[in-house]
Amino acid sequence: MGQKVKKFNRLLFQWYVKNHRVLPWRKTRNPYRILVSEIMLQQTPVARVLPKYAEFLKKFPAIKTLASKTLGEVLRVWSGLGYNRRAKYIWECAQEICSKHRGIFPRERAVLQTLPGVGPSTAAALEAFAFGRDEPMIDTNVRRVLCRVFFGGRAISDRALRDFARTLIPQGRGKDWNWAMMDIGALLCGARRHCLECPFGRLHGVVTPFQYKKPASRFCDSTRFYRGKVLASLASAGFRGREVSRLRRETGLHRRRLSAILSSLKKEQLVREKGEYVILP
């Protein structure tokens, strides 16, 4: 295994030198900016994140700036990116870091993972990219690469895969190793594979197929689709909000289904009602 690991890393870095992506969040070690990018990138393609990342940081350039704003202001800037609960997570992180940690990001993994919306992968990204630690960041594409090359396509638990990946990282190169793995996973080893271009085929002739993601459910007409439509309408409505009757017309939803969607949004504190109007918090 030792020789295979050495060859794997050599092929990985050779490929990365020629094919790496140039992304704005790779030019900073500011943990706030890295947190924003990582949460935005959850289930959202890079191309969609790039303009929103720039817009978000222009509006909220520092964590204390973000913490001083209302959730409604944050949701208005976030509008169009989807999965709006993530905007609430970032805002809540800012509130907690400023109130409990005097505006300074905690560095301990256990503490990082207590922050809203920060799971093992986001915590690992902060450790690697902000704090310079040799910690693997395992996303779906990285998982796919490792399982195809080292485990014959078998699914491996997150903890076991993270422990294994940690043994692959050359000392002091955690940041570059993670970026290289993320790039090769996204560009060559995604749902549409490019196996003929993959450098790891040279390790043992072929790279084993591996299916990890469940088939995507139909987005149009889904609850998530209509939640997004409601929040986008409210974001463009200003501080007065929208009448429920107008939201029904805009979404085309039956009264009962719209009521259920509004109830879920209120439960998550993403909207509130004011008489006949629904507004952002």
Total number of domains constituting the chain:
2
Instruction: State phi, psi for 249 to the nearest 5 degrees.
Output: -65, -45
- 172 found inside a domain: no
Is 123 a residue whose pLDDT tops 90? yes
Catalytic residue from among 38, 108, 243, 250: 38
- 213 found inside a domain: no
Look at residues 102, 130, 158 and tell me which one is the last residue of a structural domain.
130
Range of the structural domain that residue 39 is part of: 30-130
CA angle 118, 193, 86 (to 5 degrees): 20
So what's the pLDDT on residue 107? 94
As a whole number of angstroms, the distance between CA 249 and CA 95 comes to: 36
230-277 confidence digits (pLDDT tens): 888 888 887 778 888 888 888 888 888 888 988 889 888 898 888 888
Q: Provide the token pair at 178.
A: 């993670």
Of 109-123, 126-140, 147-161, which range is least confident? 147-161
Upper half-sphere CA count for residue 117 (Cβ side, 13 Å): 22
So what's the pLDDT on residue 16? 95
So what's the pLDDT on residue 216? 52
So what's the pLDDT on residue 232? 87
Is 268 catalytic? The answer is no
CA distances from 227 to 85, 171, 251, 264 (A): 11, 45, 10, 9
Is 147 a residue whose pLDDT tops 60? yes
> pLDDT over 90 for what percent of the chain?
55
- 173 found inside a domain: no
pLDDT, average across residues 9-17: 95
Question: Which CATH number fits the domain that encloses residue 54?
Answer: 1.10.340.30
Is 205 a residue whose pLDDT tops 50? no
As a whole number of angstroms, the distance between CA 142 and CA 93 comes to: 26
Contact (CB, 8 A) for 82 and 228: yes
Is 207 a residue whose pLDDT tops 80? no
- 170 found inside a domain: no
- 88 found inside a domain: yes
- 112 found inside a domain: yes
So what's the pLDDT on residue 217? 54
DSSP 160-209: HHHHHHHHHSPTT-HHHHHHHHHHHHHHTBSSSB-GGG-TTHHHHS----
The set of residues, in sequence order, having a beta carbon less than 8 Å from that of 227 and lying 6+ positions away, is 84, 261, 264, 265
pLDDT, average across residues 136-144: 91
- 197 found inside a domain: no
18-54 confidence digits (pLDDT tens): 999 999 999 999 999 999 999 999 989 999 999 999 9
Q: Taking all residues of the chain, what is their mean pLDDT, rounded to a whole number?
A: 88
Look at residues 104, 130, 156 and tell me which one is the last residue of a structural domain.
130
Identify the band that residue 215 occupies on the pLDDT scale cut at 50, 70 and 90.
very low
Look at residues 130, 147, 170 and tell me which one is the last residue of a structural domain.
130
Answer with the residue of higher pLDDT: 122 or 141: 122
Is 281 a residue whose pLDDT tops 80? yes
Strands 272-274 and 277-279: antiparallel
Contact (CB, 8 A) for 207 and 200: yes
Identify the band that residue 174 occupies on the pLDDT scale cut at 50, 70 and 90.
very high
As a whole number of angstroms, the distance between CA 13 and CA 213 comes to: 26
So what's the pLDDT on residue 210? 46
- 108 found inside a domain: yes
Question: Which CATH number fits the domain that encloses residue 267?
Answer: 1.10.10
